[in-house]
Structure 1
Amino acid sequence: MKALIIGATGATGKDLLLQLLEDDAYREIHSFVRKDNGFRHPKLRTHLVDFDRIEQWAELVCGEVAFCCLGTTLAVAGSKEAQWRVDYDYQYAFAQQCYKNGVGRFVLVSAAGAKAESKLFYNRMKGALEEAVKGLGFECLLIFQPSILIRPKSNRGGENITVKVISFLNKLGILRRYKPMPTAILAERMRKEAATAPNGIHTFTLDEIFLK
């Protein structure tokens, strides 16, 4: 398969990209990024793009399956408006272009608790994106809703503390629905399901992602 990916410079995207490159089911991977990290591989095609101007690279969005791993935090974005632009606008525009160009399978990284009617900004944003992408009509749509992610060598102090706290509470049988998930496990499940899942809309909650 020919795969497309946005967000390949993030923790989940990095793990997914490396796995795709080693998987014989994927013959070619096209990564759309704002900055080139210099990584090269015979199967990889890296495209430097402006996510605010998707019309400039729309013709490159062609393949059998697309992976959407893009995302930021409120602290990094600086405002809710800026985070919405990355976590909703860019991703929905990419999904729209994928659908227009005949990409049959779309894989979206969402979040536990995603709900368009949520009073929490982050959950509402993720839920709104899920509903919008569902409305496009992909032959196969895979939505993954992990809890907080364990990112290798993460420098996000607050996130690292949260992972430790939740992991401790999990040992006491508390907050198991928010069990931290290594990005490599999430990436592995995304890669496998993208190649084997039947047509339709499939949503994978935390426990379903952990199950092989």
Structure 2
Amino acid sequence: MKKTAIILGATGLTGSILLEKLLNDTRYETIKLFSRKEVEGLPAKVIQFVGDILDLEKFKADFIADEVYCCIGTTAKKTPDKVLYKKIDFGIPVAAAKLSKANGIPTFIVVSALGANATSTIFYNKTKGEMEQAVLSEKIEKTHILQPSIIGGKRQETRIGEKIGLVVFKLIQPFFFGKLKKYRITEAEDITQAMMVLANSTSKEQIISSEKIKKLAINKN
């Protein structure tokens, strides 16, 4: 039976790559996007629901699928207001998990981050950690939380500082051995491949480390 997938964050780096993969995958008949604005030029296979996704509950009747992929995330630079930041990075994934549970969606996959820790004194890590705890508390049948390191890939936005930082980081990566290996850049391409491998497997592993993401992507077959 062909499947229906939901994507949250389809206009971002990871979400846009995932969307392209799902469009080309014959296992998926329908892809539902929930976003603030419509994405133009998509085929009939895609159904778009446009509105305020900070109030995801209002989409409950349409939030029905076999799998949910949550690629939502912001940055301190884009969202300096910590209240709004938490509404996005914590609020949206948790609301999506609650809707998934309520509507009987068996698979929920969300992108978190390396270092996520609900007891951290670092706001970013604490928010991601609290999100993970809240998502897991919904006890969805198949929940996978991916914890990538710095995400690499070609972004639509031009962020000079980030580009320079990534170049420097790539130069020092060969020196990351042993316990430091997990801090190597995680390519968005690998994240999306790992998400699809997990969704189409019997795995019940909940926390997927940056190193495991790369292994799943490499051993996709």
| Residue aligning to 2:174 | 171
Q: Aligned partner of 2:33: which letter?
A: S
Report the Cα distance in structure 1 between the residues aligned to 2:26 and 2:87, rounded to whole angstroms.
34
| Residue aligning to 2:190 | 185
| Residue aligning to 2:70 | 68
Q: Does the aligned pair in 2 maintain the 1:25–1:195 contact within 8 Å?
A: no
**TM-score, length of structure 1 as denominator length:** 0.94
Q: Does the aligned pair in 2 maintain the 1:96–1:136 contact within 8 Å?
A: yes
Deviation at 1:188, TM superposition (A): 1.1
**TM-score, length of structure 2 as denominator length:** 0.90
Q: Residue 33 of structure 2: SS of its match in structure 1? A: strand
Deviation at 1:18, TM superposition (A): 0.5
| Higher normalized contact order (CA 8 Å, seq sep 6+, divided by chain length) | 1
Deviation at 1:27, TM superposition (A): 1.5
Of 51, 54, 58, the match for 1:52: 54
Deviation at 1:201, TM superposition (A): 4.3
1:19-98 to 2 correspondence within 5 Å? Answer: 19-98=21-100
**Unaligned segments of structure 1, at least 5 residues:** none
Deviation at 1:106, TM superposition (A): 0.1
Deviation at 1:176, TM superposition (A): 2.7
| Residue aligning to 2:199 | 194
Q: Does the aligned pair in 2 maintain the 1:166–1:178 contact within 8 Å?
A: no
Q: Does the aligned pair in 1 maintain the 2:68–2:109 contact within 8 Å?
A: yes
CA RMSD in angstroms comes to 1.4
Q: Matched residues, percent identical?
A: 30
Report the Cα distance in structure 2 between the residues aligned to 1:73 and 1:3, rounded to whole angstroms.
26
2:161 is aligned with 1:158? yes
Deviation at 1:162, TM superposition (A): 2.3
